[in-house]
């Protein structure tokens, strides 16, 4: 299996792409990794940092770099030789099975839709985010592929989220919830009420409206929302977690006794960090395009890139797109 | 100053309303508290729990109870003698200066709009939520009064949030941010782009788009969003915080050493809890109606009710509605 890594997109690339890719090559002997980007620059970096590049890691030249601030349109029109465009081309030409990127999300969505097209029956792609909590994992979708989602797009997300939960997360009888401002039927905007009715009449195991707090309690498996709300929620989660860790640190540092106590708690804090650390989950998954694309956080470190590669490998192995197509053939779409 | 307490709305009323009201009466000698609800029931409870009712606490009978699941329409049409309706009437008839409720938010908004009407120049009310973080306090608005906000409503929220931050939180040169999926101009739905342009041309100190994480870093003072997004965000904040505390507890309880360490950290954890505990902030503030209404969390305890009363007292003292009207007279509205 071959996985193309967008080695230039993201805050800490190409270094973390190089490190994460090399580690994945060592851990997964069945993988070939292709670093897509400025080869000379990356080879120089490897030399400087004394990173041994395994044989299963190769390069594919891409001279342009999409910046985080670039609009998807700019990325597509003016940077045709960008790492994300070239990586998407590799999959299109059957030279790779999946793309991993920590770069500009909008550009990744635009490039893969342009190059790969959408799956039959899917009218808009969506980004699924696995969220870990003390009762397991929930999937939040869409977290930012499409900020003006129509009811039919919500329906698409529910199909894709269901298949993701079934095939990769091994859930059965997947419970679908609609993110809303209250649990009761009749809550929310007129569009949300329309979607509620659509879901109610569908073949989904639809448990009704869920609220923001239900993302973290296992009340349902897949939580559907539009990309505007989902992206804000994603960043609120990061923000709250960061703020709480900072506040805890400030309070603990105030006395000697609590500093000492914190030393005793260190292993517990480390396990906690590992549990909530998004870099352990390999980022979000772009679903609906005719290919596999894993989108890591812009601030991905080498561990996050490694995990994104691990997740990409799982998605290819589980042949999720074929399962989505089969689901739509059997149950229809909107 | 007289404050009417909706003694029947909320998960733990009337007990917490009684306790919080009695405590406020003891702490603030300038206040008269009116418990609005089923007097016999509350008096019985006071006797059973051996709660001494101070002289400055009186009763006002209201036989109906609005449940959390009731729609605002049901509450208004079928429960005309509910505690929130009667409490709103007290302010309307100049028998009280403010209302405090931990009940159904939709019913509180509907009752106060019906009885008090809106301030001149305001077309929709909004709920402002103060959020504490390590850099101070930010105000998020609207967190659920209006789930289908138009651009002019966003403009109203910015005016009201600005005055709240200036007069109660004592901020100057209040920085206004628009909650969006990215910082760059041009991000978000077409409606959000329209609002961005509206704010850009306004007299506000508009710092542009902000993201979910910026609620917790002090990047701006007032963050504007529609009630659908704001209400989901509010509950996500609760959810993440709760989930993190639970996960931390689980990890700490795994070994004897970390349990011991946690004992040393207990004072720090307690200070932390106090800092992030919403009940310390007295809940959210309904702005735009011609009166003062503080809306506590449905699960408010006596401490939360006490703090909501404290906040209501501040709002009356600061005469915030007069300041909002003056701001609109000077700078116009939409």
Per-residue pLDDT tens for B313-322?
A: 999 999 999 9
Residue A272: its pLDDT value, please?
82
Q: What are the tokens at A27?
A: 């851990």
pLDDT digits (tens, 9 = 90+) for A113-172: 999 999 999 999 999 999 988 888 999 999 999 999 999 999 999 999 999 999 999 999
A256 touches chain B (CB under 8 A): no
d(CA A19, CA A22): 5
B135 touches chain A (CB under 8 A): no
Instruction: Provide the pairing of β-strand B292-295 with B284-287.
Output: antiparallel
**In this complex, which of B180, B189, B247 lies closest to A148 when CB atoms are compared?**
B189
Residue A117: its pLDDT value, please?
97
pLDDT digits (tens, 9 = 90+) for A57-89: 999 999 999 998 888 888 899 999 999 999 999
Q: A245 Cβ partners below 8 Å, 6+ apart?
A: none
Instruction: Evaluate if residue B275 carries a pLDDT over 80.
Output: no
Work out the pLDDT band at B203, boundaries 50, 70, 90.
Answer: very high
pLDDT digits (tens, 9 = 90+) for A167-208: 999 999 999 999 999 998 989 999 999 999 999 999 999 999
CA-based nearest residue to B31, from B43, B19, B22? B22
- CB within 8 Å: A186 and B232: no
Q: Interhelix angle for A190-200 vs A151-167, to 10°?
A: 50
A272 touches chain B (CB under 8 A): yes
**Which ranges in A178-298 belong to alpha helices (H)?**
190-200, 227-252, 256-276
Residue B241: its pLDDT value, please?
83
- CB within 8 Å: B235 and A248: no
Inter-CA distances, B154 with A107, A296, B226, Å:
30, 33, 7
- A102 in Cβ contact with A111 (< 8 Å): no
Residue B43: its pLDDT value, please?
97
- Chain A CB contacts of B236 under 8 Å are 212-213, 215, 233, 236-237, 240
* Residue tagged 């069945």 (tokens): A30
Which residue segments constitute the domains of chain B, with CATH numbers given? 1-122+288-320 (3.40.718.10), 123-278 (3.40.718.10)
d(CA A230, CA A126): 10
* Residue tagged 């609120």 (tokens): A236
- CB within 8 Å: B236 and A235: no
User: For testing the chain A interface, which of B140, B239, B260 should be mutated: the one with the most A CBs within 10 Å?
Assistant: B239
Instruction: Average the pLDDT over B130-157 and give the result.
Output: 93
Q: What are the tokens at A135?
A: 């009762």
How many Å separate Cα A250 from the centre of its chain?
32
pLDDT digits (tens, 9 = 90+) for B161-192: 999 999 999 999 999 999 999 998 989 999 99
- CB within 8 Å: B268 and A252: yes
The dihedral sign for the CA sequence B108, B113, B118, B123: positive
Residue B111: its pLDDT value, please?
97
Please identify among residues 157-196 of chain A the ones whose CB lies closer than 8 Å to any CB of chain B.
Answer: 179-181, 184, 186, 188-190, 192
Looking at every residue in chain A, the average pLDDT score rounds to 94
What is the count of residue pairs from A and B with beta carbons less than 8 Å apart? 197
- CB within 8 Å: A231 and B212: yes
* Omega within 30 of 0 (cis) for the link into A157: no
Q: A256 Cβ partners below 8 Å, 6+ apart?
A: none
- CB within 8 Å: B232 and A276: no
CA-based nearest residue to A194, from A144, A227, A230, A152? A152
Name the more confident of B151 and B68. Answer: B151
* Shortest CA distance from A144: residue in chain B: B181
User: For testing the chain A interface, which of B209, B244, B260, B280 should be mutated: the one with the most A CBs within 10 Å?
Assistant: B244
Cα-Cα-Cα-Cα dihedral of B111, B116, B120, B123, to 10°?
10
Q: A53 Cβ partners below 8 Å, 6+ apart?
A: A18, A22, A43, A46
Instruction: Evaluate if residue A275 carries a pLDDT over 80.
Output: no
In what helix (H) or strand (E) does residue B20 lie, and over which residues does it extend?
Answer: helix B15-27
Residue B101 forms beta bridges with which residues?
B295
Instruction: Evaluate if residue B45 carries a pLDDT over 90.
Output: yes
Instruction: Evaluate if residue B276 carries a pLDDT over 90.
Output: no
Inter-CA distances, B21 with A305, B27, B68, B304, Å:
55, 10, 21, 10
A74 touches chain B (CB under 8 A): no
- CB within 8 Å: B265 and A262: yes
């Amino acid at each position: 299996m071959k996985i193309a890594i967008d080695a230039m997109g993201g805050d800490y690339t190409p270094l973390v792409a190089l490190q994460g890719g090399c580690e994945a090559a060592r851990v997964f002997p069945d993988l070939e990794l292709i670093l897509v980007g400025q080869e000379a620059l990356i080879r120089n970096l490897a030399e400087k940092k004394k990173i041994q590049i395994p044989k299963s890691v190769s390069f594919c030249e891409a001279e342009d770099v999409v910046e985080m601030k670039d609009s998807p349109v700019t990325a597509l029109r003016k940077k045709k030789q960008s790492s994300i465009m070239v990586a998407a081309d590799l999959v299109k030409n059957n030279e790779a099975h999946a793309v991993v990127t920590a770069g500009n999300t909008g550009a990744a969505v635009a490039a893969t839709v342009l190059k790969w097209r959408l799956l039959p029956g899917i009218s808009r792609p969506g980004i699924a985010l696995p969220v870990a909590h003390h009762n397991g994992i929930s999937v939040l979708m869409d977290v930012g592929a499409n900020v003006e989602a129509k009811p039919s797009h919500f329906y698409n997300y529910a199909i894709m989220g269901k298949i993701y939960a079934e095939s990769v997360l091994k859930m059965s009888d997947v419970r679908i919830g609609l993110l809303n401002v209250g649990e009761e039927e009749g809550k929310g905007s007129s569009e949300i009420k329309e979607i509620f009715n659509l879901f109610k009449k569908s073949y989904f195991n639809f448990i009704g409206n869920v609220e923001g707090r239900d993302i973290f309690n296992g009340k349902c498996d897949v939580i559907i929302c539009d990309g505007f709300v989902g992206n804000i929620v994603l960043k609120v989660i990061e923000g709250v977690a960061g703020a709480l860790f900072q506040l805890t640190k400030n309070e603990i540092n105030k006395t000697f006794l609590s500093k000492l106590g914190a030393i005793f708690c260190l292993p517990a804090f480390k396990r906690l960090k590992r549990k909530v650390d998004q870099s352990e989950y390999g980022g979000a998954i772009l679903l609906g395009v005719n290919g596999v694309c894993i989108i890591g956080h812009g601030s991905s470190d080498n561990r996050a890139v490694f995990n994104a590669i691990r997740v990409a490998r799982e998605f290819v192995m589980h042949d999720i797109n074929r399962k989505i197509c089969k689901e739509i053939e059997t149950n229809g779409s909107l």
